[in-house]
Amino acid sequence: QVQLVESGGGSVQAGGSLRLSCAPSGRGFTTYAIGWFRQAPGKERDFVAAISWIGDNAYYGDSVKGRFTISRDNAKNTLYLQMISLKPEDTAVYYCAARRTIGSSTYYVHSDDYQDWGQGTQVTVSS
């Protein structure tokens, strides 16, 4: 298991940017594929983005394509979600999730595929 800590959430106006970070507590997360999910009040948890453990493959949810970028720096044990052109509908709690994987270029898009989750960080976008 790996414990994940998200940071970087906050409140911004529509059109603004934020960068979320996710880091493991106590150990590294090489060999872990990582995903970001979000959950708005009263809604299900939705897939946002995922990245393979060596960082060569990434995949995005349709609603964030072209606006969000997922990346990772395994040497620094940190994963990032750069968000630009934020919209009020991006308002949610954002969660980082990890899954140990053998395939270095594999990513996962379903929340059930992930074993370890952070506590989440709130992102609020005002119009």
In terms of average pLDDT, the best of 27-36, 38-47, 98-107 is: 38-47
Radius of gyration for the chain, computed over Cα atoms and rounded to the nearest angstrom? 13
CB 52 within 8 A of CB 59: no
| 90 has a pLDDT exceeding 80 | yes
How sure is the predictor about 104, in pLDDT bands with cuts at 50, 70 and 90?
confident
Region 60-74: mean pLDDT is 97
pLDDT score, position 53:
92
Q: Could you tell me if 71 and 79 are in contact, meaning their C-beta atoms sit under 8 angstroms apart?
A: yes
Q: How confident is the model at residue 40 (pLDDT cuts 50, 70, 90)?
A: very high
